[in-house]
Amino acid sequence: MTSFSQMKNAFVRASLDNDGRTDAKFKATTTNSGTGSGTATYKITVNDNVKKLKTNPEQNPDFATITVVTKIVLFILKKCWIMCGASIMVIFVIYWYYGSFLALGLLFFALTGILYQVGDWLLYHPDQPPHSRLYVPAPAMFGLSGENIHISSGDGVKINLLLVKQDHSVFGQVPTILYLHGNAGNIGHRLANVRGLYHSCGCNVLLVEYRGYGHSDGTPSEEGLYYDSQAGLEFLLQYPGIDRSKIIVFGRSLGGAVAVDLASRPEYNKHIMALVLENTFTSIPDIGRVLFNWRIVKCIPTWFFKNQFQSKEKIKKVQLPTLFISGLADFLIPPHMVQELYKCAMGEIQQTTTTNSASRNHRLLIFLFFSTVKTKKGIQSGRKLSMNSRSPVKRLATFESGTHNETWQCSGYYRTLNLFFDDVMVLRHQQGDSCHWPAQDVCVHVPAEVL
């Protein structure tokens, strides 16, 4: 006697051998207690699930779901490989059963991983002060007229720009400053400083709002900030009416490191007339070891820091007129870092053999400069003398009462900028359209209190 279950299994095997047909007829011998044995014909229809047994497993929706879930899990593990709280418990379990050395190694591995991941959180502060991502002060609050523009950066992230223009009668004749701000707040918090640059220096100003700050999209990162500064410069080069030969890049604090990177790139260096760096640092690893004066932090290798901003190395490639501004009351970034950048730009670290002669030249030029800037007549004679003896193109201006974010409020700040801009313009006119300046040019240290 053949049971119905046995018949069904036989049919399934037959249907698979017959290229997956969904129905078939077959005969089976049955036995009935009342009528005896006999032959009956059965027809069984196989549902679609049977057909799937012979199809490609990659076409199975269940297999596709498993693949997607697996990719998501692997992505989460890759991005948050060290942030899982369960890893701390695993460390203690291993410590309990397998000894201290392995556990300590895993603990150090976890701590360095956490430090690497929170590097962005320690460096970028777009939410300070609170609501900085929502509220950006308008130029009209400072008596300025500005044009907000949204552009796409080099990697497609949309960023916000603010262009403050001089009157249309002089708009195309005056220099334009590409303003790169620090690591907190938004461009609206720099408008008080921009007002001084607008009125005291007579410049157009383009403020670049980094990704993740203010009204810009995205998330801040070192490479992303480089893209944003490049997008700002490219915007100025394409904007109608701007004198493309008079573009000045200005960077304060973190913006100084972004400005150095922009000026060190040959494809952008040729479009920049001058560079101004204010209260900036040599590199993120250097400033990290200063702010976190712990022995364990000093033992962390430089390559392990997620953000580098190696201005100390890049400034050596910058062959542009550069003004270094340092507030000596800056308790966030040590003033000696600005002075170290100045020395690297001058090549004083490598050219130690010329130190004595350079020092004599410094003292002579300082005496001549200070003896001629006190009166209008003195300024004119000093300018003439400076041009005849090849005007310095790199300067270090120090401000005794200058703090990290308020150095621009010190007396003599804008006059220092104007003296630098004027000398650059005159020297540029004498040397034609060349944007590259000899590295051996003498530099003058200009204490702000004299001005």
- pLDDT tens sequence across 359-405: 434 433 443 344 334 333 333 333 333 333 333 488 999 999 999 99
- pLDDT tens sequence across 248-276: 999 999 999 999 999 999 999 999 999 99
Question: What is the token pair recorded at 262?
Answer: 């922009």
- The pLDDT value recorded for residue 363 is 39
pTM: 0.68
- pLDDT tens sequence across 419-433: 999 989 888 777 665
Query: What average pLDDT does range 344-365 have in this prediction?
Result: 50
- The pLDDT value recorded for residue 265 is 96
Query: What average pLDDT does range 94-104 have in this prediction?
Result: 68
- The pLDDT value recorded for residue 365 is 41
pLDDT surpassing 60 at residue 210: yes
Give me the active site residues, please: 253, 330, 404
Q: What percent of the chain has pLDDT over 70?
A: 66
- b/e for 45-75, b at 16 or more Cβ within 10 A? ebeeeeeeeeeeeeeeeeeeeeeeeeeeeee
pLDDT surpassing 80 at residue 27: no
